[in-house]
Structure 1
């Protein structure tokens, strides 16, 4: 596997002088933006499913195109960042994401295929941001507290994820949506006009987000951030083994599988929440009402990350990871075999359990990789493709057996997360 990039920590004396607070605040803004953009898919999926009369499988092409970009773009992104640096890489990612958002304007008139292409471009920009920002956070401080630090910044990612569904409900799902039977009663010309009108509701929100991303790109281009050097010779970790690539580290390989399954589970649950709450035996909510409740899913993750930031300074990250994954499975079982508000609240509370999982797996997988840190980061970002494939697997079950039983797919994913957390529970103890 090609060597990509290695984040070399700033020497401690110099780091103490310049401080880490300012850079972390700036990087945290990036985490907020990609949380917002990613969670807008949870509103787009039921909206486009309704507008274009899609099956669950076809609707999940949204996540396939979005998270598929992580698999395709991560390694090229790492090469780009190695050449131009972490700060310029973040700027490039913001510009690419802005272009993807702007493409939503013509997509509203061109159809579903261009929406999918727009999502791929948007996600490509976010991938560049992920590859640049995650290792940046892990090296801005003590390696032993990297999990808690990344958890704190990820809390603001969850803030973006919390805000997105509510905004989407107000801006995209607020108009009354015709049922399939009602739509079929309209003349063909009126059906086309209706679909065009509903598709166009995404234009203004995504144009606004494109403008915000370009403004952020300008800000980051002018900001004074500490340089993180790439090094072929290694960093603070002395390597005495004969590893020739990041893939030689078992905890990284298993961590990549953990990221694949965790992200797949989190995205898959979020993708089906609005439709799940719309089921008559669950809550019977309209799409815009259900979307507002989805904010609880992201809000739980945000709250949990703030708690985790403090708790994991004293509790083994691996044990915390395993505990949260076990709680997720228990809540999903209640949602699958229950009904009414009990089932609804159970699935929403999985967000609280999700809180620490991504940053904890990510930082555990990168632990003591030394000169292979950058390469490891790219591998982990490629593993985010789980967000493309696991929802497809759940959609097959949803089309065949209904939305409720389909949640058994993400429940199975959390089993491996338990295993990974327990296997490496003592990782930071040397």
Structure 2
């Protein structure tokens, strides 16, 4: 999953007459790196249940560590970019990413689940630093009129990484010949390889020219209403919806392998991991389709439809129909693909000078991914995996409701009345 953050506005970029092609290629490769990390996350969840004998609720601490890092580290990462620059910020992020990956090796030797959780937090902290820098870089490495196209292109590599990762997990984590207990050797191989790859990219980045980016001060126009963000309904409800959306999206994958193994007779964990890669491919396809549809339909309509589709699909999952529920769960990835960027863009629309603050709040909403999986795990342990997906149904019902009713900015007169009421309450 690419968790796009708000892109600041820039006055100019110093190229010195040099081409921006290679800097764009290098920065785009970073999207592949965090696609690999996210794609492996859900495979690790099931694998550790088998190899380390942890329960479903306990295994969800992997999601807590991964998405909790975004909440904890996002603000310090922004400060690092401001003080040290984007290139150094990227290098710090790559260093943390590599360190977290290499820490998986002693964690496997010790067979310590808490050690794995801590290692993943370090790795995700590096991803947070990288992502804080990558989106702004991509938007300015070329003509302004094609910035959105470049960002969409870069984010497709996130989908490629997310597709490859479950395939690696299926081949190396679930060793059928030796049993799941021996599979931690596969974890060591995969994360050692990732750590080396990240270090190689870090060396390349350190030796490459990356252009300096100069932020422009955001201007407030005279006709722009100075309304508090808290009085912007499409923003405040949008942040909550984003939090719920990420919670649901992460929960879909967190217990995907558990659901498929229990629902599809004869399926092993490795088979389910291969099916997860199909889901990740659908995620990539869903994003491409949504982007093309936005030329014909409004983003609000697409968001409402995607949300409603996942409400129906997750209800089929909770019915626990043999094989059918597994197919329905795989299909949810398609309709989960475009919800984050669409909610993000709708939530910050028309906010003018406050867009950057609004974007930061939207990024903080990623922490929703750290909350629902443990709750879902406890629900699954008590009532079963399939019924626990009813929690995901509720998440996408909120997404559909936001797209249908709350995503449109209020007319100026309504916002004016809200501001007057707020002023009256203060006096």
Look up the SS of the partner of 1:48 in the other structure. helix
Matches within 5 A, 1:110-125: 110=110, 111-125=112-126
- 1:242 paired to 2:210: no
Name the counterpart of 1:188: none
Which ranges in structure 2 are unaligned for 5 or more consecutive residues?
413-427
Which ranges in structure 1 are unaligned for 5 or more consecutive residues?
180-194
Look up the SS of the partner of 2:224 in the other structure. coil
**Would you say the 8 A contact 1:317–1:425 is kept in 2?**
no
Look up the SS of the partner of 2:378 in the other structure. helix
CA distance in 1, matches of 2:328, 2:395: 17
Name the counterpart of 1:83: 83
RMSD: 3.3
- 1:339 paired to 2:335: no
CA distance in 1, matches of 2:246, 2:356: 20
Matches within 5 A, 1:239-388: 240-242=224-226, 249-279=232-262, 281-388=263-370
Name the counterpart of 1:207: 192
CA distance in 2, matches of 1:84, 1:377: 22
Deviation (angstroms), 1:148: 6.6
Name the counterpart of 1:167: 168
Instruction: Normalising by structure 1, report the TM-score.
Output: 0.83
Name the counterpart of 1:192: none
CA offsets 1:217-255 (integer angstroms, 9 cap, x no match) = 233334444443234x415977834367x6665444333
| Shift in CA distance, 221/421, structure 1 to aligned 2, threshold 3 Å | farther
Task: Count matched residues.
Answer: 405
Deviation (angstroms), 1:416: 1.7
CA offsets 1:63-83 (integer angstroms, 9 cap, x no match) = 111111111111111111122
| Shift in CA distance, 112/422, structure 1 to aligned 2, threshold 3 Å | same
Q: Single out whichever of 250-259 and 58-67 deviates more from structure 2.
A: 250-259
Matches within 5 A, 1:46-61: 46-61=46-61
**Would you say the 8 A contact 2:7–2:139 is kept in 1?**
no
CA offsets 1:17-53 (integer angstroms, 9 cap, x no match) = 9898766544432222111101201111111111221
CA distance in 2, matches of 1:363, 1:221: 33
Look up the SS of the partner of 1:40 in the other structure. helix
CA distance in 1, matches of 2:208, 2:87: 9
Name the counterpart of 1:42: 42
